[in-house]
Chain A
């Protein structure tokens, strides 16, 4: 009997040790809300340069697509970290979650409306005042904001399915876009595109924001701080030299060619860096901006009671 036990322990112990080793290296899942594109360049740069590994973190980045419910995935602890827009964080907390913003890639939100230049629009007001179709996410805060700002619109709002196929085939079609991505893709297809920033019309939540649950932060404070530090390094690298990360992202997302990747990385720089941002300030957020966002969402009747602003974000 004792021999049997001994034999058993000989088999079991190494296996147990191995599992413990594996558990230590278990990857930290990080969910994007779109395909690999320069909007996420700094995250891939951090991975490439070993910024995560250097801090003992094994981070696994997963791509998303139209409708990937990243905020809900984080709120329900399916993944510890994810990417969302600042307005989604406010909505999520207003529905009772503890999702917090940790790092904002875009200081100016690149969400815009892309139109055919030959239509001669001078502003977003013109887009809404003319007939034709506008593909825009129904129910999204920026949609409601624009509808409230330009009442009596002549344009017909239609669902946004992602991509630019409809834009290429229909001369009276406008669509939502990241001004750092889709207009460049359209140009690549020999379809010039003009774009208007929604931020210029007055709705400018932080974009491409790193989120996590507050409870997760409290349980893993060091891991969260290390992750944000690594991400800040990654973005600082990517802004300086995007080539390596771009080459990797082209492999992950062949829908965007390397030339467009390069162009997009260049175009997005002013959206990431406010004037003279030192690299240690990258990604930081302000109470003033979050307060005005909460007020706007409340005015749009998207939230019934306002969440406490200081609980919405955390600057590491």
Chain B
């Protein structure tokens, strides 16, 4: 890529950022908005620099819990989706309970998680898992149910076992949906981890809680900024894996980069 082409691809997302940050900075500097309501971007940057070691440790704790929660939801969600796709009866019996995970108000059951799992990381991972499992179940199920009928007939014709049909046809065919579920789940896992940390302790959730108590809104924003970066990193990682595994054959990943 030439320099000009590089600039052309970076400028569209950067421009709104620069304009909005500049506007916020000016609004606070000119005292149109009090700085205890919205911090100036420069204050947030200062807080990021001042507390960098604490924030880095906290971000690492949150990231590892979110990853663990995401891994658990991937395993459990995929397994659940395979079971549900295997028979209409199973789907009718269990799918309503899968919806429970999407609608559960995590903040209201979080104190219970502490009583079940104790303070610390187990509670945080549980919270991340609960919040992120439903999109994986729903997308994987959709993927498994939308195998091309002609190909299913072909597998039948060659008397493939149901295990072979699952591994060699249904799952590869469902991969784009599985990845799109993972993409949604990875952002949610970060949110779930932070909610879990409010109650279970540690990580960016703890930093936000403490900063709010001290009315340090600049630090709250610094922590929130890092948590959204974590979300971006996770989604980026899923995109990367998706491109690796689909790029060679699926239209959704061809020509996209």
Contact = CB atoms under 8 A, between A and B. Distances in A.
Given A76-B37, A159-B206, A165 B201 contact: no
Contacts of A140: 210, 213-214
Contact of B200 (A157, A159, A163, A169): A159
A156 interface: yes
A14 interface: no
The 8 closest A-B pairs by CB, nearest first: A139-B210, A158-B119, A138-B210, A139-B213, A95-B36, A158-B201, A91-B215, A139-B214
Interface of B: 34-37, 110-111, 114-115, 119-120, 197-201, 206, 209-217
A166 B115 contact: yes
Nearest to A91: B215
Contact of A159 (B37, B198, B212, B216): B198
A174 to B, nearest CB: 12
Given A75-B36, A138-B210, A166 B215 contact: no
A137 B36 contact: no
A92 interface: yes
Interface of A: 67, 69, 71-72, 75-76, 88, 91-92, 95-97, 133, 137-141, 156-159, 161, 163, 165-166, 169, 302
B115 A72 contact: no
A293 to B, nearest CB: 15
Contact of B36 (A72, A159, A163, A169): A72
Contacts of B214: 91, 139-141, 302
Contacts of A72: 36, 215
A96 B115 contact: no
A165 B115 contact: yes
Contacts of B120: 158
Nearest to A158: B119
B136 to A, nearest CB: 28
B210 A156 contact: no
A199 B56 CA distance: 35
